[in-house]
Structure 1
Amino acid sequence: MNAQRIILLLVFICTLSSQELTAQIKRTIKGSVKDSINQALPGSYVRVITGKDTLTVITDKEGDFSLSNITTQSSGLLVRSIGYKSHTTTVTFLEKQDLVELGNIILKTEFNMLDEVVIKGKITPIRVMKDTIEYNADAFMIREGDYVEDLLKQFPGMVIKDDGKVTSMGKELTKLRVNGKDFFTSNVAEFIKKLPSSIFSHVQVIDDYGDEANFTGIKVGQPRKVLNLVTKPGKDKGTFANVSGSAATSNSYGLNGNANVWKGRKQMSGGGSFNNTSNEAQINNNTNGAVSFSDKIGKKLYLRSSYNTGNGTYENTNFTNIESVNSLGTINSVNENKSNSENGNHSLSMGLTSEESGKFFASGLDVNLSKDNTENTSSSLQTGVIRQDLFTSSTSKQNSPNVNINMSLGLGGKDKRGRASLSFSGRAGGSKGHQDILTDIDYYDKDTNEKVKDSLLNRLVETRNGERAINAGFNYSKTLGNPKDTIQKSIEFSYSFSVSSNNNELETRVKDISGKISFIDSLSNVYTSTFINQNIRGGYRYNSSKINYGIGFTLQPSILMGSYEGRTDKINQKTFNSSPSGNFSYVISKTQSVNMNYNGSSNAPRFDQLQPVPDTRNLQNVIIGNPELKTSFNHNANVSYSLFGITSGKALQVGVNASTTLNEVVSNIILIKDTLNSLKQETRYVNVNGNYNINSNYTIGLPFGNRKYMVSMGGNVGLNNSVIFTDNVKNNNKGLNFFQNIGLNMDLKSFSGSAGASYSYSENNYTIVNFKPQNLESWNFNMNLAFKIRKSFNTSVDVSKNFTSGYRSGANNPLLINASVFKSFFKNNRASVNIRAYDLLNQGNNLFRAVSGNMIIENRSKQITRYFMATFSMNIENFVK
């Protein structure tokens, strides 16, 4: 009995000791709080309930937290942050486990905010994130009736061109998304004029590598710029429509209408237009129509579709001066070209996407059919090394059908350690054309400049071109370690395979003065080419809250094959290229980041550069391909740096781009004697090394006066070298381009304006003997003022003055003055009339210069620049307030 009591006493003591030891175990919970785009949420509230006790902590600037002295084996966890939904979960410790690392806790945006609670604080106008620059709309001036376009104009580094295209740091924003999803047709220029800026909280400019890269994390190649608009809670819906009519004193007029229904992912639109544009140099009539639809059609399946049709007639006249540099001197050509064309186009686009955690699926179909009928007359008067006059009239007809399909599939492992994607795409298309070309060449004596002979030739040219291509790829990434770790490391593997095939037929016939038609075998051929390219890449990626980089090595074997009907020689070239690849982004802080990218790619010569049969459609410059051309390889690298003031909004963005190409295909311009012992040009093609392009740019924005005023500066410097051949002799054209501007912008409630000055300089220095450098220099001064006299009435005027030198054809340094008056009426200002005057002093000219190979091209269009236009517009908008 005594023994039993002793045993029970020992058991009781051991139990108490065990409970005491258990109570003494101190446990810890660690984690990081982030938003849906993986950005840290500092200042978040984290609470753990342990029995009757409660432990609370606030996340640090990196979003990290650590809670210690937890005594219970199971605890409740609550995470809260202003503007986000609360997150609750239960954390359970294993036996003898004293640490649980939760990794990243993702908080979703809160869409049901309390109306009565208003929290005010300092607004951060610009935030730097990985691959993203985010602008806070509340930090900028938003007037009643402003659209997204008006908001974008205030962002440093952002430029909206006259055609509506938007650029950021010199790169065009090619796609539009709302809340991270494609919006209607994704046309940036179209919808920034239709969406009110008041419904958006943030605007993001994203370096996007594509849907597959977003899923697997494998970022290779050059990203495209995407504009993403983030709506305020619950404001991702609305209906908006517009009908407008316009007429101008230049005999131009138009009628446009469109309607759009937007309910989150459900989007429907339709519209049409008819426009006649006449400005003396051009008379264009075109009619267009379009419809689109996208919506959820399954549990997690989304459909998008669109159809566009259009047709038009175009009359155009332009004048071009071309200076061609060669070893004997220069050839100066004064050209006049008149064309009348009629074209039509039909395009259909459809796509399916599936959005499911750990999975990804997308497919698309695009069909396009276009036709074109053109009548053309031109004259080319040559002086210098060659003295000839060429007069040409021609008619042409061409049909071009094209079909493209694509599909991609992504899968993630159950343990979330591995992700893989498969992709496939194919395209088939071609064109069929007929040309009736009548040419007359006048030959002159090189000593007396007297006309000695003319030559008349009538050719009938038939072309049939077909293209087929298949692309397939596989990507796989494997996480090293725990996928929930704050720092993630992974290995990557990619493989892609592409085959493209071209079939081309060229038939040339000659019609004599009696109408007899003869087939010219030497100017006709049937040519087939095939290009096979493989891309094999292995790499490593590191990703943390601040640093993301990927490094790898790429192998690119390729085969180029070609054959010609009736010829025994064939093309069979095998090329093997290799290069490192990599990208690096470092978020130094919330206000500054660095991004770097490098990649290489192979490119096959075009079929017209390969075919050895003469193309005589331009008798002053016959083109003959080179079947021995090799595949070229392009190296491209860029680096950018961004710095923003966290509350001031001051901004600095700097970028450098560099590229060079191995075995680049360039022209070899040869002067040869014709049958009259005169000269004509002949273009052939060769591979060269030594071409490069280096371009640097920067923008600075200095806001003041509560961001109502901004001083902006920007510019770029470009250096390039182009290797050219003239008469089989290698030459170089070293170019320099410099641009600098400074401006002041003002945005007030009843007044806005801007004033600026810019300077540009370009030069081209050919190493050809006797070439005289031709440098182009230009100063521009501009001012724009807009007055909001009443809520429904405003007026504006803009003035610019140019001082330009260096054009061979001369420039008259115009002073351009435009003015407009705008009046809105009806309820909610739905209707408006806008009267605008263009070039009041009638001094406008349209000049531009381009450099291509051994040619300096100056183009001038003789068109009406002074005219008046009146536009009536009716807008119907119903967005969630």
Structure 2
Amino acid sequence: MNAQRIILLLVFICTLSSQELTAQIKRTIKGSVKDSTNQGIPGSYIRVITGKDTLTVIADKEGGFSISNISTQSSDLLVRSIGYKPYASIVTFLDKQKQVDLGNIILKTESNMLDEVVIKGKTTPIRVMKDTIEYNTEAFVIREGDYVEDLLKQFPGMVVKDDGKVISMGKELTRLRLNGKDFFTSNVAEFIKKLPSSIFSHVQVIDDYGDEANFTGIKVGQPRKILNLVTKPGRDKGTFANVSTSAATSNSYILNGTANIWKGRKQMSGGGSFNNTSNDAQINNNTNGAVSFSDKIGKKLYLRSNYNTGNGTYENTNFSNIESVNSLGTINSINENKTNTKNGNHSLSMGLTSEESGKFFASSLDANLSKDNSENTSSSLQTGVIRQDLFTSSTSKQNSPNVNINMSLGLGSKDKKGRASISFSGRASGGKGNQDILTDIDYYDKDTNEKVKDSLLNRLIETRNGDRAINAGFNYSRTLGNPKDTIRKSIEFSYSFSVSSNNNELETRVKDINRKISFIDSLSNVYTSTFINQNIRGGYRYNSNKINYGIGFTLQPNILMGSYEGRTDKINQKTFNSSPSANFSYIISKTQSVDMNYSGSSNAPRFDQLQPVPDTRNLQNVIIGNPELKTSFSHNANVGYNLFGITSGRALQIGINAGATQNEVASNIILIKDTLNSLKQETRYVNVNGNYNINSNYTVGLPFGRRKYMVSIGGNIGLTNSVIFTDNLKNNNKGLNFFQNIGVNMELKSLSGSAGASYSYSENNYTIANFKPQNLESWSFNMNLVFKIRKSFNTSIDASKNFTSGYSTGANNPFLINANVFKSFFKNNRASVSLRAYDLLNQGNNLFRAVSGNMIIENRSKQITRYFMVTFSMNLENFAK
């Protein structure tokens, strides 16, 4: 009896002890709250119901959170944040498990489905965030059948060009992402024409420093601008395909076909195109094909791959007038160039990325092979200081393979205070070319303008080149204090090392009238150069909800080495550059921000600028490099300011950019006598200081009528100074560019359009005494209207008129009118036929001007501008509702 009581008592004590031990197990749930762009959402509310207890915390400024003292094995989790849909789940612990890391909890934006046309007057249209300007699609007009391209045209400060390029604050958006992730090929121009506006809740323009910088927080250098589209909840999937065929009176035939399957991160696509244009102005026949695939291949590993191939034949004619200034006067050249090119290329791109909390991994492989065969005939009639006629015919073959490999790995410390990353990249490229050049030069008496002699020369030139480079880098940042603090301070250290090597061979032979071939040793060489660059940087960074800045100091030691086969002289230059680095951003409010950035970088001279052997492929301008050239160092700085109306959508954006270069490589154009006692140009290279550029731009957007209408005002002004030498005398080319425009845009249910006027002025003043400036001035007026008569029928017209003065060749101030009629049919308007007329008055001239060194170049291409095109298109799409 006593024994039984003792046993029962022991069992009872053990049971109580077990329950007590179970109650003493305290569990922890942690994670990070982020939006679809992988940016943390600070201030998010996190609630956990554990038994009879309710525990709450607020996410830190990076979106991170940790909740301890959880007593039950299963708990209810709720995450909320203003502007986002709530996230709820049940978190279950395994036996004896004390911590669950939920990783990234992605909150989707909260939005309502749009009707055919939705205009939300009280919605905040534009919001400013760190490195991001966000547009709320509900605040803009979206019609049935509108695509992202139509939506972007409504945003203040945004310009969508005819070729699909998107410009924001003077900079092109270089990459497309959906919900913060790469989308198919990430080609902006391609997919803004294919994705419907109605599936997106927000559009973001992001200043992106790269994935590695986003992980470590070390943001140095000039960012690139990318476009990120945020889908509405559950609408990140769909299939879309298009087949179209076109025929034009310019004897052009086009066939295109693409198909895309999109299921979140799983993406597959394929497509091809064929273009055949053959007329008196040009021949253009090309075929292209592409496939891509990306998907999750592991627990947290993602694969992307793209393959492209293409080949084509191109034949066109180009005309140019070149005015070259020098100490003796001006050389005017009237040039005509006819080219027939056949090319082919293959390119493969693959990448692996890992998405894991506290870790970062990315790798990529890019390979390309291109082949070109071309035939060229040209004439150059020179007057002024030199009176010569040059006639050249040539054939060439070029083979250029290249491979690039990149890999980055990042890890966070256990205490969450430190983050480190290492990177490696390598590239290898090569080329092999052969040219057969036949040159005929006619010489004239300067006084009588009579032909006095001629020269005939047949050269065979063979080139081989190889380029190899290896880059390695290490980045480390360490938080000072508690990583969960609202204000975070950190120190940074970066080191990078790169070695690039170039091998170049040039062999020149001459074929005489008896077809005997002789090797010309003085015009041939084998050259090898190596450039070693190191970048050592230390810095300090301050982050808060409103103010963020980073300051640092960079040391850049460089070594440039070079050698020539058969020569004893070698290049061995050591340079040391140092510069501060800084970036600053201040979020004044949700609709107002200012940012500043400064960085510096070293650049080695090109091979053709270093080699001392004459390059005689252009006998009127022989190029001789300078092996004593030094490495140049560039300074770049920019300031940006953004101001948006909270509900009105009014916008003001201002940008200022400046740059200066030390030891920049400049040309020295010398007039010398040739073997026939006539003059010719010879180009050499020297290092100069004094080159700079300053540019400022602004845009103002004034929407009214519930944003159905918007007045846009914008402009820019730029100042440049370029140092050049002519006949060993230093000269400056001071440039001024000014542009101003005003326009109005309207978006109605059955009518949309725009109209605008712009003025541009540019001048280039050389300090050469006998140079007469040629300033270019232009007024431009344009308008376009789209009449949506029915859902299945619309018509459009666009027109532009230019008034230009300053071209030496004269401009006919073209008045361009284009018109289009569009009819869709079948269920959901899947098929369509359009008839478009281009340049009805036949006044297009394709004329433009460029300035390079001591030359002002006016270029015009031969092209048929007036023609009619009919297009049949079948568009199949099914996006998640």
TM-score normalised by length of structure 2: 0.90
The answer on 1:639 being equivalent to 2:639 is yes
| Cα 1:472/1:39, change in 2 over 3 Å | closer
Matched-pair contact (CA < 8 Å) for 1:285–1:314: yes
Distance apart, 1:844 and its partner CA: 1.3
Give per-residue Cα distances to partners, 1:767-823, cap 9 Å, x unaligned.
Answer: 001111110000001111110001100000011110000000000111111100000
Question: What aligned pairs does 1:566-581 form with structure 2 within 5 A after superposition?
Answer: 566-581=566-581
Residues 56-455 of structure 1 aligned to structure 2 (within 5 Å):
80-81=80-81, 83-86=84-87, 108-110=106-108, 122-278=122-278, 280-455=280-455
Aligned residue pair count: 826
**Mapped partners of 2:480, 2:559: distance in 1:** 36
1:33–1:106 Cα contact (<8 Å) kept: yes
Report the CA distance between 1:846 and its aligned residue.
Answer: 1.0
Q: What does residue range 448-847 of structure 1 map to in structure 2 within 5 Å?
A: 448-847=448-847
Q: Which secondary structure state, in structure 2, belongs to the residue aligned with residue 812 of structure 1?
A: coil
| Contact 1:84–1:107 under 8 Å retained in 2 | no
| Mean CA deviation greater in 369-378 or 837-846 | 837-846
Letter of the 1:781 counterpart: F
C-alpha RMSD of matched pairs (Å)? 2.7
Q: Using a 3 Å threshold, how does the CA distance of structure 1 residues 77 and 796 change in structure 2: closer, same or farther?
A: closer
Work out the CA distance in 1 between the residues paired with 2:867 and 2:526.
Answer: 52
Structure 1 position 447, deviation (Å): 1.7
More displaced 10-residue stretch of structure 1: 318-327 or 862-871:
862-871
Q: What's the CA shift string for 1:653-672, capped at 9, x where partnerless? A: 00000000000001100000
- Assess, with a 3 A threshold, how the Cα gap between structure 1 residues 757 and 443 changes in structure 2: closer, same or farther: same
How far off is 1:41 after superposition? 7.0
Identity of aligned residues (%): 87
Is the 1:87–1:107 Cα contact (8 Å) retained in structure 2? Answer: no
Amino acid at match of 1:559: I
Question: Alignment partner of 2:150: what SS?
Answer: helix
For the 8 Å contact 1:280–1:862, the answer to whether it is kept is: no
Counterpart Cα distance in 2 of 1:233 and 1:87? 15
CA contact (8 A) 1:85 1:107 kept: no
Structure 1 CA distance for aligned equivalents of residues 111 and 677 of structure 2:
86
* Structure 1 residues 458-487: Cα deviation after superposition (integer angstroms, max 9, x where no partner): 000000000100000000000111111111
Per-residue deviation at 1:108?
Answer: 3.8
Cα distance in 2 for residues equivalent to 1:349 and 1:106: 28
* 2:391 and 2:440 in contact (8 A); partners too: yes
What residue identity is the alignment partner of 1:585?
S
- CA distance in 2 between partners of 1:77 and 1:569 (Å): 74
CA distance in 2, matches of 1:826, 1:89: 48
**Compared with structure 1, are the counterparts of its residues 130 and 511 closer, same or farther at alpha carbon in structure 2 (3 Å cutoff)?**
same
Q: 1:830 to 1:51 in 2, by over 3 A?
A: closer
Q: How far apart are 1:861 and its partner, in Å?
A: 1.7
Conserved 8 A contact 2:76-2:88: no
Q: What displacement does 1:38 show?
A: 5.3
Structure-1 residue corresponding to 2:100: none
Residues in 1 aligned to 2:89 and 2:239: alpha-carbon distance in whole angstroms: 37
- Residues 283, 45 of structure 1: alpha-carbon distance in 2 compared, 3 angstrom cutoff: same
CA distance in 1, matches of 2:489, 2:444: 74
CA deviations over 1:102-131 (Å, ceiling 9, x no partner):
xxx997425899999x9x993111000010
Query: Displacement, 1:705?
Result: 0.6
Q: 1:636 to 1:61 in 2, by over 3 A?
A: closer
For residues 290 and 47 of structure 1, the distance between their equivalents in structure 2, rounded to whole angstroms, comes to 48
User: Matched residue of 1:618: which SS?
Assistant: coil
Unaligned runs of 5+ in 2: 1-30, 66-74, 92-102
**Structure 2 match to 1:96:** none
- Structure 1 residues 757 and 557, CA gap change in structure 2 (3 angstroms): same
Q: How does 1:861-876 map to 2 (within 5 A)?
A: 861-876=861-876
Distance in 1 (CA, whole Å) between partners of 2:490 and 2:61 is 26
1:400: Cα distance to partner? 0.3
Please say if residues 85 and 108 of structure 1, whose CA atoms lie closer than 8 Å, have aligned partners that are also in contact.
no
Runs of 4+ in structure 1 deviating by more than 2 angstroms, as ranges, are 31-42, 44-65, 75-90, 105-108, 110-116, 277-282
1:207 is paired with a residue of what secondary structure? strand
Residue 54 of structure 1 deviates from its aligned partner by 9.1
Aligned counterparts of 1:528 and 1:275: Cα–Cα separation in 2:
42
Structure 1 pair 453/539, CA: closer, same or farther in 2 (3 Å)?
same
1:860 counterpart = 2:860:
yes
Aligned-partner Cα distance in 2 for 1:498–1:426:
9
> For residues 472 and 158 of structure 1, do their structure 2 counterparts lie closer, same or farther at Cα, with a shift above 3 Å needed?
same
Aligned counterparts, 1:12-23, within 5 A: none
Amino acid at match of 1:109: L
Counterpart contact for 1:531–1:561, Cα < 8 Å: yes
- 1:89-112: CA deviation from partner (whole Å, max 9, x where unpaired): 99xxxxxxxxxxxxxx99742589
Paired residues of 2:133 and 2:206 also in contact (CA < 8 A): yes
- Asked if the contact 2:85–2:110 (Cα under 8 Å) also holds between the matched residues in 1, the reply is no
2:284 is aligned with what amino acid? N
Q: Report the 3-state secondary structure (helix = DSSP H, G, I; strand = E; otherwise coil) of the residue aligned with 2:627.
A: coil
Instruction: Give the direction of change, closer, same or farther, for the CA distance of 1:52–1:720 in structure 2 (3 Å limit).
Output: same
TM-score, with structure 1 as normaliser: 0.90
Judge which range, 236-245 or 270-279, deviates more.
Answer: 270-279
Instruction: Quote the residue 1:20 is aligned against.
Output: none
2:804, 2:52 → 1: CA distance?
81
Alignment-mate amino acid for residue 877 of structure 1: E
